[in-house]
Structures are given as structure tokens and as C-alpha cells.
């Protein structure tokens, strides 16, 4: 995490001297034009104070949407730079939801740009789950099977279901925060979550049934 976070920080520093003309427009975000060609020196510090604490959540969402660890790192770096460019347009509110909205938009842009099926790779269990000692090999096997089933079922969800599920269930965001990040009405978020959970149950049931046969 710190590797690409450091890289992203170094890249954001390059934008401190950009003029508004050199900025890239981001759909759905207001680009602030300043009369000075030099950004305020405190912008990067303020950005990191507010946004950097949520970088792990940004990576988590990108990982589930891209289904590829390397691509997720690339997406987060790009999203981090986009967020910095348009940080002048952030006027308070929930910073986590604001950042994840940028990550979500960046993921969708990445998907359109790639125009290919995202290669599925094994989720790094050691990097994304806490170290918990289990009494015996049988319990470890059972737990691994459950995790593999859950991971598989989440990854097979349509992206519009996957994104709201990750934000609500894994990132523990409120319905309102998810709605803000996904640019959706709260009712739509709740509907998609309900359908996503139902699909997860059905998927888990099918896989369990297949194992028991």
C-alpha cells in the first residue's frame, strides 16, 4: 500500500505548479479556475490530511471492481491524482464518500478504456485478512473454503451490484454515503443491495450444494 501511496504523492506534487489550462476535466466535478498559476502551498498538506486516511478504502473498492490487484493499484494512483486536481471543488461533507466517488468513476473509465474482460486473479488472503491463529488444519480449511466461496460470489456479481455491496458491507458506509459515492438515489442503493445479497445467497447455496454432492 505505501509503495503506490508514495508514488501517488510524488506525482501530485508535480501538479502544484500546473495552470488551470493544463488541468484535465473530470465529468461530474467542477473545475476551479484560479487567477494564479501556482496552487496554494498548503493544498497538498490539506489534501493528504483529509483524503489520505481513506486510501485503504479506495484500494479495497478498486480491487473488487477491477478484480485484479495490479490494475487496482493503477486505478487508485490515477484516482488519487484526479482527486487532487479537483480538490478545490471539495467543500466539506464526507471525504470518504467523495474519494470513493472518484475511484468509482476512475474504475468505470478504466473499464471502458480497456474494453476487455478483466483477468481474475486470486485475492491476496495474507494481505487482506487479519492473522488469526486457528486450532487445527480442519478449521483453517473450512474458513478458507468460506472465504473462497464469498470471494467468488462477490466477483461474479454485476459491477453495479458489486460496488454498492463493497461500500456498504465491507467499507461499512451508510446508505447515504454509498448513494453519494455512487451518484445514485438512496432507494436505488437499497434496491441494488437487496438484489446483490440475494444473488450472493443463491451463489453460495449453489457452490455449497456442488461441494456436498
Position 25 confidence tier, pLDDT thresholds 50, 70, 90: very low
pLDDT, mean of residues 122-134? 45
Give the pLDDT band of residue 175 (cuts 50, 70, 90).
very high
Domain that holds residue 180: 135-212
40 vs 51, residue with greater confidence? 51
Examine the pLDDT at 134 and tell me if it is beyond 60.
no
Q: What angle do CA 1, 65, 164 make, to 5 degrees?
A: 110
Enumerate the H helices of 15-129 as residue ranges. 43-51, 55-66, 69-85, 95-114, 125-128
Task: Compute the residue count for the chain.
Answer: 213
Per-residue pLDDT for 59 more than 90? yes
Question: Within this chain, do residues 68 and 167 fall inside the same structural domain, yes or no?
Answer: no
| Per-residue burial over 53-78, b = 16 or more CB atoms within 10 Å of its CB, e = otherwise | ebbebbbbbbbbbbbbbebbbebbbb
pTM of the model: 0.64
Reported confidence tier of residue 14, pLDDT bands at 50, 70, 90: low
Residue 154 included in any domain: yes
The mean pLDDT value for 183-190 works out to 96
Most confident of 7-16, 36-45, 75-84: 75-84
* 125 in a structural domain: no
The domain that holds 206 is classified in CATH as: 1.10.10.10
Cell of 201: 445467497
As a whole number of angstroms, the distance between CA 175 and CA 63 comes to 21
Q: Residue 161 corresponds to which cell in the numbers above? A: 451490484
| Amino acid 192: pLDDT | 95
Whether 60 and 141 map to the same domain: the answer is no
In the three-class reduction of DSSP (H, G, I as helix; E, B as strand; rest coil), residue 93 is classed as coil
Residue 200 lies in a domain: yes
Measured CA to CA, the distance from residue 59 to residue 78 in angstroms comes to 11
pLDDT at 129 over 50: no
Kindly report, residue by residue over 195-212, the tens digit of the pLDDT: 999 999 999 888 776 655
Torsion-angle region of 90 (φ positive above 0: left; ψ -120 to 50: alpha; else: beta): beta
Amino acid at each position: 500500500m505505501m509503495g503506490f501511496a508514495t508514488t501517488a504523492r510524488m506525482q501530485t506534487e508535480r501538479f502544484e505548479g500546473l495552470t488551470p489550462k493544463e488541468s484535465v476535466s473530470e465529468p461530474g466535478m467542477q473545475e476551479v479556475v484560479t487567477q494564479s498559476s501556482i496552487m496554494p502551498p498548503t493544498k497538498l498538506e490539506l489534501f493528504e490530511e483529509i483524503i489520505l486516511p481513506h486510501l485503504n478504502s479506495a484500494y479495497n473498492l478498486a480491487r473488487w471492481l477491477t478484480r485484479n490487484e495490479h490494475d487496482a493499484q493503477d486505478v487508485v494512483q490515477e484516482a488519487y491524482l484526479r482527486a487532487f486536481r479537483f480538490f478545490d471543488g471539495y467543500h466539506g461533507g464526507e471525504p470518504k464518500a467523495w474519494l470513493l466517488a472518484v475511484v468509482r468513476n476512475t474504475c468505470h473509465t478504466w473499464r471502458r478504456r480497456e474494453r476487455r474482460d478483466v483477468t481474475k486473479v486470486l485475492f491476496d488472503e495474507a494481505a487482506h485478512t487479519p492473522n488469526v491463529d486457528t486450532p487445527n488444519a480442519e478449521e483453517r480449511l473450512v474458513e478458507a473454503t468460506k472465504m473462497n466461496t464469498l470471494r467468488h460470489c462477490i466477483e461474479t456479481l454485476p459491477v453495479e451490484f458489486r460496488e454498492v455491496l463493497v461500500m456498504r458491507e465491507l467499507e461499512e458506509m451508510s446508505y447515504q454515503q454509498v448513494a453519494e459515492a455512487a451518484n445514485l438515489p438512496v432507494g436505488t442503493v437499497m434496491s441494488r443491495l437487496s438484489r446483490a445479497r440475494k444473488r450472493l445467497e443463491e451463489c453460495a447455496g449453489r457452490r455449497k450444494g456442488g461441494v456436498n454432492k
